[in-house]
């Protein structure tokens, strides 16, 4: 922009800027030549290349609008930095020592610490979701064995939910007998021996298990299909709250009082938006779960006649944006009949 500053601001304001610059930074140490520059051809030299990277992020103009919203911005990298480093990798020849260092450091600073929540896309002028780029890079890292394990988990998700609730119950029971610190030490020891990625910690704030049974509801006269998110089928109310009503119980009661009764299908367990798989790059598990849930939602909603409500916005978003769905069967995007909670409330 340097050659255009005078044209934009006029000679008086530009002269004023130069005088301030010369007073405050007489040796031109700060941003030398970046905005104030007397060379009229500066914009034609030292051009930065933008090599092509993955299609999802290759249009990035490196404006940085996405940076303030990124949850990892103060931990490792911002979305813009993830893309800039990716470009630098592409610029490097295969034998480059710099490339080796970037690849090594990018694993933690770029890939592992991205929440893959896609919130960066909300402020990007060209609509880039850096989380999608990172999910693509994670998918490339998955081995066939890991993919098979991810698929098995998806195929047995109802059992996984039961085991998770059982683990929560057992953990809380043990904590009440042995104490929180002793119970926390068990997963900590397993994490040290096995993997800090695969084995969760047991924090003092660990919520209790959700009840095994979802509230009884009726299909007759229902205003919407209600699919409680798997996280709300596994975790109950936080410890500081009474254990009842749970979120599904409260939502069913409030909706009925508001004249919009909800129906929870009897076979809701085991269905999920597939985000746990997509965000970690497990393509086979994601495809299986997305198709399974899409088919169930289609069936439960009578082919889209009833709206569908999900009680976690991240899961509703996962369903609405999932590219794997029922387009082939229905001829219209599956996401079009999934409504967010607010949308239902407005009706
Ligand atoms: S807001 Fe979009 S275009 Fe700007 S740096 Fe971020 S990803 Fe790139
Ligand atoms: S998806 Fe990744 S890069 Fe984008 S805002 Fe979330 S953590 Fe940041």
105 lies in the same domain as 204: no
Model confidence at 222, pLDDT cuts 50, 70, 90, reads very high
Residues 93 and 193 in one domain: no
Q: What is the tens place of the pLDDT at every residue in 314-329? A: 887 777 776 665 554 5
Same domain for 166 and 311, yes or no, is yes
**Domain presence at residue 51:** no
**Could you tell me if residue 314 is inside a domain?**
yes
Is 131 close to ligand 2, i.e. is its CB under 6 Å away? yes
Asked if pLDDT for residue 336 goes beyond 70, the answer is: no
What is the total count of domains within the chain? 3
Kindly state whether residues 309 and 169 are assigned to the same domain: yes
67 CB under 6 A from ligand 2?
no
Q: Is 308 helix (H, G, I), strand (E, B) or coil?
A: strand
Tell me the two tokens of residue 5: 């500053």
Does a structural domain hold residue 168?
Answer: yes
User: To test ligand 1's pocket by mutation, which of 128, 129, 130, 133 has the most ligand atoms within 8 angstroms of CB?
Assistant: 128
Average pLDDT of the chain to the nearest whole number:
89
My answer on whether 149 and 294 are in the same domain is yes
Q: How far from the centroid of its chain's Cα atoms is residue 261's Cα?
A: 30
pLDDT by residue (tens digit) across 73-104? 999 999 999 999 999 999 999 999 999 999 99
Could you give phi then psi for residue 310, rounded to 5 degrees? -125, 140
Question: Is there a single domain that holds both residue 151 and residue 239?
Answer: yes
Report the separation in Å between the CA atom of 72 and the middle of ligand 2, taken as the mean of its atom positions.
7
Please tell me whether residues 91 and 211 are part of one structural domain: no
| Statement to judge: residues 180 and 262 lie in one domain | yes
- Residue 166 is predicted with a pLDDT of 96
Q: Is 115 in the pocket of ligand 2 (CB under 6 A)?
A: yes
Answer whether residue 153 is part of any domain. yes
**Residue 341 vs residue 304, higher pLDDT:** 304
The residue segments making up the domain with residue 136 are: 67-141
Mean pLDDT of 266-280: 93
Examine the domain organization and report whether 171 and 301 are in the same domain: yes
Give the closest residue (by CA) to ligand 1 atom 8.
60
Name the residue with the closest Cα to ligand 1, atom 6: 66
What pLDDT is recorded for position 334? Answer: 46
Claim to verify: residue 177 and residue 101 sit in the same structural domain = no
pTM: 0.79
The number of C-alpha atoms within 13 Å of 20 and in the hemisphere containing its C-beta is 7
Ligand 2 pocket residue status of 85, Cβ below 6 Å: no
Q: Which of 117, 141, 165 is the last residue of a domain?
A: 141
Ligand nearest to the CA of 80: 1
Q: Which residue's CA lies nearest to atom 3 of ligand 2?
A: 79
More reliable by pLDDT, 306 or 11: 11
Residue 56 inside a domain? The answer is: no
pLDDT in tens, 149-171: 999 999 999 999 999 999 999 99
286-307: b or e for each residue (b if 16 or more CB lie within 10 Å)? bbbbbbbbbebbbebbeebebb
Ligand closest to Cα of 77 equals 2
Q: How far apart are CA 170 and CA 177, in angstroms?
A: 11
**pLDDT value, residue 323:** 64
């Amino acid at each position: 922009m340097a050659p255009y500053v005078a044209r934009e601001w006029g000679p008086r304001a530009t002269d004023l800027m130069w005088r301030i610059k010369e007073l405050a930074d007489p040796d031109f140490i700060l941003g030398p030549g970046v905005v104030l520059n007397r060379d009229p051809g500066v914009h034609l030299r030292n051009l930065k290349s933008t090599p092509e990277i993955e299609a999802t992020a290759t249009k990035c103009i490196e404006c940085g609008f996405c940076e303030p919203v990124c949850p990892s911005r103060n931990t490792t990298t911002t979305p813009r930095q993830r893309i800039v480093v990716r470009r630098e990798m592409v610029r490097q020849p295969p034998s480059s020592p710099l490339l080796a260092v970037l690849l090594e450091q990018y694993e933690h600073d770029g890939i592992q610490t991205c929440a893959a929540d896609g919130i960066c896309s909300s402020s990007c002028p060209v609509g880039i979701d850096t989380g999608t780029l990172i999910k693509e890079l994670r998918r490339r890292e998955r081995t066939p064995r890991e993919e098979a394990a991810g698929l098995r988990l998806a195929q047995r998700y109802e059992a996984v939910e039961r085991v998770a609730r059982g683990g929560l119950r057992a953990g809380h029971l043990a904590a009440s007998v042995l104490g929180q610190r002793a119970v926390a030490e068990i997963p900590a020891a397993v994490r040290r021996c096995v993997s800090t990625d695969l084995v969760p910690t047991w924090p003092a704030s660990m919520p209790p298990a959700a009840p095994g049974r979802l509230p009884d509801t009726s299909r007759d006269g229902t205003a919407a299909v209600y699919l409680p998110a798997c996280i709300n089928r596994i975790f109950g109310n936080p410890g500081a709250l009474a254990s009842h009503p749970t979120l599904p119980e409260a939502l069913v009661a409030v909706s009925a009082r508001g004249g919009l009764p909800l129906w929870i299908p009897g076979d809701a367990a085991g269905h999920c938006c597939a985000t746990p798989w997509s965000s970690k790059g497990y393509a086979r598990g994601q495809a299986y779960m997305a198709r399974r849930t899409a088919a169930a939602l289609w069936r439960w909603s009578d082919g889209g006649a009833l709206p569908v409500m999900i009680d976690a916005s991240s899961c509703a978003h996962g369903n609405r944006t999932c590219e794997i769905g029922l387009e082939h069967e229905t001829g219209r995007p599956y996401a079009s009949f999934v409504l967010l909670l607010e949308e239902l409330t407005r009706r």
